[in-house]
Amino acid sequence: MTRNDPPGGTDRPAVPSETAAAALARCVAVEPAKFAAAHWGQTPLLSRADELPNPAGFTDLFSPADADELLSRRGLRTPFLRIAKDGDLVPSGRWTGGGGAGAEITDQVLDERVLEQYAGGATLVLQGLHRTWPALIDFARDLGLALGQPLQVNAYLTPAGNQGFATHYDTHDVFVLQVDGRKHWRIHPPVLPDPLERQPWGGRADEVAATAQGPAALDVVLAPGDALYLPRGWLHSAQAQESSSLHLTVGIRALTRYALVEELMALAAEDRRLRSSLPFGTDVADPDAVEPELTETVEALRDWLLRVDPSAVAARLRQRAWPAARPAPIRPLAQAAALAALDADARLSPRAGLRWQLVPAGADRVALRLFDRTIDLPASCEPAVRALLTGTAIRVGDLPGLPDDADRLVLARRLLREAAVVPA
């Protein structure tokens, strides 16, 4: 696969590019190139509703009524809900319990207890909505394609006049999408630019608190339909205004250069010089004893880095990144029915959001790499696989490169069963 392959191959999922562009346009009021150059990972960006393509807002993605549906009728369990009050999390035992007859669980969200907490001023955090709410499943997939990063989506419901969390920073970039009500945001510059996931704000609580006392870089009230982009590390706090507030937070799990370092160090175990033991009796507490070993180790590491295979690093990054961005859901019953009824006239489409690679695997085999498995296929299937995964709907009988419909049906059944394609 090359960088010029159609959407779906290598690092580009099978989602129409116009769909991805539309998802990003809902979040930023500037052109993608300007957002990438001036804001991405650098500075906040406020986009007012009247600057965005859908000034009606974000209620089509998630609304207060949708939140009530989740909290009351969907059998929600931890950890898909958190509750915070006065800057601290409320223990889940105060708002969960048994699910009743036929549900032998002890951590189901109890709507009566949620009401008690919310009416008392607590903020409700609905987590993982990119896995549980249909409109946000699709939106997160499309936005993730536009950004080239895996996403997570949470919703924050805060009663009037309340604040769920004290000033803090996140270790991932976020889009804040104000759905309902108004919320006052105070944004301060980072105390630690570009923090890694292992560098949460709690380890710098004093610096965060001190910086939060100074002048804000951005002091705004978000109204319905407004959007705010915050790079990781920027300090923020938010307080609901005269009415309750609902906003979505889209968390962007950035892949960093430190991720490259981590994968390089994992591969460095292949080098014998770097695996060798320190000399017998080395006093590791003595800098003079450690210095020559450190010098030799740095030299060995430098030599190894000059020989490293970029494809090996890319393979490890793929294993890290692809499972974090699931493709579109499939319907198991409908998929099984399509398998049973498959014939040459059936039309199949690529599974939206599916990341894949098709690479040689020997003289007469190819390997189709997916986010969670690798499928071994005859090399003669390559043109048909590409036709299935890079285009729109295609008739099984029109798949190229295979001698007859019997072979086409065998391949189509295999890819249906592996959930790489879906009925058109």
Q: Which residues, 6 or more positions from 245, have their beta carbon under 8 angstroms from its beta carbon?
A: 156, 157, 158, 160, 178, 180, 181, 182, 183, 238
pLDDT, tens digit (0-9, with 9 covering 90-100), for 224-282: 999 999 999 999 999 999 999 999 999 998 889 999 999 999 999 999 999 999 999 99
pTM of this prediction? 0.88
Domain locations in the chain?
13-252, 257-321, 332-423
Kindly indicate the confidence band of residue 326, based on its pLDDT and cuts at 50, 70 and 90. confident
Q: Which two tokens stand for residue 118?
A: 């919310």
Kindly indicate the confidence band of residue 5, based on its pLDDT and cuts at 50, 70 and 90. very low
CA angle 159, 216, 221 (to 5 degrees): 35
Q: Looking at 1-15, 36-50, 119-133, 156-170, which range is the least confident one?
A: 1-15
Residue 360's φ and ψ, nearest 5 degrees, are -60, 145
Average pLDDT, the chain: 92
3-state secondary structure of 149: coil
CATH of domain 13-252: 2.60.120.650
Kindly indicate the confidence band of residue 8, based on its pLDDT and cuts at 50, 70 and 90. very low
Q: Looking at 95-99, 100-104, 321-325, which range is the least confident one?
A: 100-104
Task: For residue 104, count CB atoms less than 10 angstroms from its CB and return exposed for 0-12, middle for 13-18, buried for 19 or more.
Answer: exposed
3-state secondary structure of 49: helix
Average pLDDT over residues 377-402: 95
CATH of domain 332-423: 3.90.930.40
Kindly indicate the confidence band of residue 100, based on its pLDDT and cuts at 50, 70 and 90. confident
Q: Which residues, 6 or more positions from 213, have their beta carbon under 8 angstroms from its beta carbon?
A: none
Kindly indicate the confidence band of residue 141, based on its pLDDT and cuts at 50, 70 and 90. very high
Kindly indicate the confidence band of residue 11, based on its pLDDT and cuts at 50, 70 and 90. very low
218 pLDDT more than 60: yes
Q: Residue 12 has what pLDDT?
A: 44
Task: For residue 294, count CB atoms less than 10 angstroms from its CB and return exposed for 0-12, middle for 13-18, buried for 19 or more.
Answer: exposed
Q: Residue 104 has what pLDDT?
A: 80
